[in-house]
Amino acid sequence: ISTTGVYASGGQQWMDETTPVNPMTSRAHKRIAAEMTMRHFGRVGGTTVSILRVPGIYALDRQGGNPAQRLRQGMQVLAREDDVYTQHIQADDLARICIAALFHGRPQRVVNAVDDSDMRMGDYFDLAADLAGMPRPERLTRQDAARVMSPLLYSFMSESRRIRNQRLKREL
């Protein structure tokens, strides 16, 4: 399992598995190295290796992956004019995708394991708040967010990705 973070920020452009990678963080660089190592292992060893590029994983019982939990902790999001696109995958759906990849994955193939959403991050958390009966998160300008958010969270909120999942639907 890799990360859609290997694509870096795409603004409003759609990306798929053929989009060149452009890792911007050390974590993304490590994932690309791991992908290359595993694909080489598959070719040399004559075995099938499936690379699943996964975005944010969410579930009610997942530490840190429960949107309502983040909202309770005071999660803030970017103002609409500064907001980025984000995609997610539900933990049980990801488990099913992993099983499908074991049985149907093509050799050394990359598949984006993302849901069909096409939302900006603030809208995602607004929806989560509405569904949980909670207040919507405060919206911040990018300048204010840079001042008050942790560098990791701000980095996460600075990358915009719209990822297609056609291989997932066709092949798995």
Task: Write out the DSSP string of 15-74.
Answer: E-TTSPP---SHHHHHHHHHHHHHHHHHHHHT---EEEEE-EEE-TTSTT--HHHHHHTT
pTM: 0.89
Residue 67 pLDDT > 90: no
Question: pLDDT tens across 72-82, in order?
Answer: 999 999 999 99
pLDDT of res. 65: 67
Q: Is the dihedral of CA 130, 135, 138, 139 positive or negative?
A: positive
pLDDT of res. 100: 98
Q: What percent of the chain has pLDDT over 70?
A: 98
Q: How confident is the model at residue 152 (pLDDT cuts 50, 70, 90)?
A: confident
Residue 62 pLDDT > 80: no
| Mean confidence (pLDDT) of the chain | 93
Q: What are phi and psi of 145, to 5 degrees?
A: -60, -40
Residue 153 pLDDT > 90: no
Question: From the DSSP assignment, how many helices (H) and strands (E) are in the chain?
Answer: 7, 11
Contact 25, 5 (CB under 8 A): yes
Q: How confident is the model at residue 64 (pLDDT cuts 50, 70, 90)?
A: low
Q: Specify the DSSP class assigned to residue 82.
A: G
pLDDT of res. 157: 85
Residue 11 pLDDT > 90: no
Question: pLDDT tens across 88-124, in order?
Answer: 999 999 999 999 999 999 999 999 999 999 999 999 9
Residue 63 pLDDT > 80: no
